[in-house]
Structure formats: C-alpha cells, structure tokens
Amino acid sequence: MVGIAVNALVLPPFYLDESDSAVRGLAHDIGALLRDMGAGLAERQLVAHARTWLHRARNLETRLTHAEEQVRQADESLRWNTRCVAHARRRDVTYGEASGTRDRADAG
C-alpha cells in the first residue's frame, strides 16, 4: 500500500525505456523493409517479393500503434511526475500535438 502511494504521489515511474524501445524497433523494421525492397527492386525481383513486402508493410501499422501508445504513456508519466514538475523546463511538444501535426500534414 505504501509503495502504491509513493509511486502515485511522490515518484511515479517513468516509461521512457519502453517508449524508446518501441520507437527504435519500429524504425529498425521500417529500415529493414526499405533495404529489402531496394535490393529486390535493384535485382528486378518485384514480382517474387511484392507479396512479402506488402505483408510486412501492413504489419508495421500494428507496430506503429504500439509505439504511439508507448510514447503516449511516456508523455503522461513525465507530465505527472513531480520530479519533472519541480524542474520546470521549456515547454516540450506532447505526443498529441505531434500526432495532430502529422495528421494535418497527411491530410494536406
């Protein structure tokens, strides 16, 4: 009970490692897919690999959703952590603001 109170009121946990890992994993998977696509296109093997590339690209959407959730959780953990509030820094862009900017860019 005391541990819960300390985490909730005094030192809530940061979720930065999970966020970092999810974003890096997504970036790695995107890079690997693009490298494989580039090599396949250079060797003119589009037909042989297109179905696999499409499947891998569609799986990236799941990874993106997971990474977005991890970043959102890290953002909230920083927002409510008293250590961060006590050491007020310049205003950082939140996940929601960055996501909204991305969505507006996609629509434009």
- pLDDT 10s digits, 66-75: 999 998 888 8
**pLDDT for position 28:** 96
Whether the pLDDT of residue 2 is over 60: the answer is no
Tokens of 105: 């860019």
Exposure string (b/e) for 47-74, b if CB count within 10 Å is 16 or more? Answer: eebeeebeebeeeeeebeeebbebbbbb
Distances (CA, A) of 95 to 6, 38, 45: 26, 31, 39
Whether the pLDDT of residue 108 is over 70: the answer is no
Whether the pLDDT of residue 79 is over 70: the answer is yes
**pLDDT for position 76:** 80
